[in-house]
Structure 1
Amino acid sequence: MDWDKIRLFYEVVNAGNFTRAGEKLGVNQSSVSRQISTLEHELKVPLFHRHPRGLVLTEHGELLFRAAQDMRLRLDETRQRLTDTSERPAGELKVTATVGIGGIWLARRITEFLDRYPDVQIQLILTNDELDLAMREADIAIRLRRPAQPDLIQRRLFTIQYHAYAAHTYIERFGEPERIEDLDKHALLCLGGDQPSFILDLHRLTHLGRDPKDPRPARLVVNDSLALRQAIENGAGIGMAPDYAMSTNPKVKQVLRDVEMPSLESYLVYPEEMRSVARVQAFRDFLVAKAQRWDF
């Protein structure tokens, strides 16, 4: 098959119609339509159902698009490998991490990495969703649980310890809880929203020492971990937070120090095929060194 026509077909699917695909490729709509018709003639199958509202892939079109998508991904990967050198990492590196660890722990260290490797450009994607590394939604990830996929390389980084925190201003007004039962008399702040259940469970002071069917009421539920920490810092109540984000904050104090609190293991994860990419190696070694020195 003619790769130029396959590439054109791929762009038409992504664009949704011949006109937008032509604009992206710098050719007119009739030329795009003609080449797609030629491709269908050569393959002897229809690739699109043509409707006034746009194009819809046929079953054959779906099959060809998946193949074209795979070819595009592998070509991009090959191009990036060819432009990489083991002596001087270069190119774009897509890094994904959770909002909390990416927005605080990682963001504080990115400048040092960029200074060390000026030819690497970082695209930092902060999300609690686990992006598909195999489909190159990201090149490397920091995750808060061990990945199940067998084709992913994983390296444990560090343990993230969570504790209950309250602002000094809150404690001055309402006192400090000494026992779990004291939480019944305090304003509790929790993480909520569309988050993985294992993340939500870490923040549920409402359930600590209580029957799960009879939790304490939460004064505030917020769907963003950074906003939750801001609320704790500003005295809205008591909430759970990771030590890396709060232990050096002079505005807050760790409470319930004698109570055993949850923790998570963090992992650095990347696809097997990215093992020899220089910028991935450099970023991996940088983060592992930080983790080993307990650089918090």
Structure 2
Amino acid sequence: MVPTLASIASRLRLKQLRLLIALDDRGSLHKAAELISISQSGATKALHEVESLIGMPLFERQPKGLVANEMGRCMIRYARLIHSDVEHLHEEMLSILQGQGGRLSVGVIMGAVPLLTRALTALRLKQPDLSVELVENTSATLLGLLDQGRLDLAICRTSVGQRTEAYDCIELSEEPLAVVASKDHPLACEEALHLAQLSDYRWVVYPKDMPMRQALERELNEAGLKIPRYPLETSSILATILLVQQDPTLLAVIPVEVAEYCEQFHLLVKLPVALRALNEPFGVITRAGADLSPAATLLINELQNDLTT
């Protein structure tokens, strides 16, 4: 029987979590105890306390040492997350006491990466000691991380979330789209193209129900064209760029600003075919009613300043 949340919260201690991580890293009680500077008897007692709380063993003794079972691996995974959060707390406390920049965790969708990197560059010139964690992913994933408190803010869209009322949004920008291809693609040197000329080629697309894919399928439907077979689906911009660059039969839809960056460094070419922007602009998304840190407020100011200059 799984213990209640109240029981876990009242009985589980950071020392025990550190021991679980050390056991996973070292594979023995003796080495784990040395790593976290406690006696072996103390380590044995701490492990027994955790296993008593959970109600089952967390490790199995094997020839190569102690090996976590399924429940043990679950506990270790969350122990690492909690320990990481405590480390970040310590870093931010030191930064505040020393008058430095603090720490910021920011999520971003692919199309907003150029805007965010410019804003972060400007901000770090003013706050050189600011520590930033940047997570690129889809809007749906970023909203989940925001819900869990893993991100201070995200630059994405709320329409893919299940509870739009759970977020505050500061609208930033629309996201114009472009079709890109390898410089060796048969259409790479064309001066003008219609969407119909692209429909027979293969595409790298975002996963189902993501705005970038919906935009492509909307354009094809409105032009009376059939939806092509998609051999490759990915939410990774790097994978998209490399796949299209290396395969002259592929096409992809990516944000215009990312496409222009790729053209600048001769990675891909932007095909001369018109696509509309995504229906919903992206914005700075935070948990509804959340108090923003000074660093988060400064970043939002830089994002807004970039769009007005």
TM over 0.5: yes
2:169 maps to amino acid: Q
Q: 2:17 aligns with which of 10, 20, 24?
A: 10
Structure 1: state its 5+ residue gaps.
none
3-state SS in 1 of match to 2:176: strand
Deviation at 1:183, TM superposition (A): 3.0
Deviation at 1:271, TM superposition (A): 3.8
Q: Equivalent residue for 1:228? A: 240
Q: Equivalent residue for 1:27? A: 38
1:144 aligns with 2:153: no
Q: Equivalent residue for 1:216? A: 228
Is the CA contact (8 Å cut-off) linking 2:104 and 2:295 kept in structure 1?
yes
Structure 2: state its 5+ residue gaps.
1-6
Stretch of structure 1 that moved more, 261-270 or 144-153? 144-153
1:191 aligns with 2:201: no
1:255 maps to amino acid: P
3-state SS in 1 of match to 2:227: coil
Is the CA contact (8 Å cut-off) linking 2:158 and 2:164 kept in structure 1?
no
Q: Equivalent residue for 1:278? A: 294
Distance in 1, Cα, partners of 2:197 & 2:81: 57
Q: Equivalent residue for 2:136? A: 126
User: Under a length normalisation based on structure 1, what TM-score does the superposition of the two structures give?
Assistant: 0.67
Whose strand fraction is larger, Structure 1's or Structure 2's? 1
Change (3 A) 1:36 1:167: closer
Distance in 2, Cα, partners of 1:184 & 1:46: 56
Q: Equivalent residue for 2:102? A: 91
3-state SS in 1 of match to 2:120: helix
Q: 1:255 aligns with which of 267, 272, 278?
A: 272
For 1:142-197, what per-residue CA distance to the aligned partner results, in whole angstroms no more than 9, with x for missing partners? Answer: 113345365543322211122435678754656742x4333345x343325x5753
For 1:25-67, what per-residue CA distance to the aligned partner results, in whole angstroms no more than 9, with x for missing partners? Answer: 2224321122454x579xx966543643656799xxx8xx99x
Distance in 2, Cα, partners of 1:289 & 1:142: 15
1:125 maps to amino acid: V
Distance in 1, Cα, partners of 2:202 & 2:294: 46
Distance in 2, Cα, partners of 1:76 & 1:92: 11
Distance in 1, Cα, partners of 2:89 & 2:238: 38
1:242 aligns with 2:258: no
Stretch of structure 1 that moved more, 235-244 or 108-117? 235-244
- What is the root-mean-square deviation in Å for CA atoms of aligned residues? 4.8
Count of residue correspondences: 278
Q: 2:174 aligns with which of 159, 164, 168?
A: 159
Deviation at 1:120, TM superposition (A): 0.4
Whose helix fraction is larger, Structure 1's or Structure 2's? 2
Distance in 1, Cα, partners of 2:61 & 2:227: 55
Distance in 2, Cα, partners of 1:241 & 1:71: 36
User: Under a length normalisation based on structure 2, what TM-score does the superposition of the two structures give?
Assistant: 0.64
3-state SS in 1 of match to 2:281: strand
Change (3 A) 1:6 1:171: closer
Stretch of structure 1 that moved more, 134-143 or 78-87? 78-87
Deviation at 1:117, TM superposition (A): 0.8
Deviation at 1:9, TM superposition (A): 2.3
3-state SS in 1 of match to 2:154: strand
Identity of aligned residues (%): 11
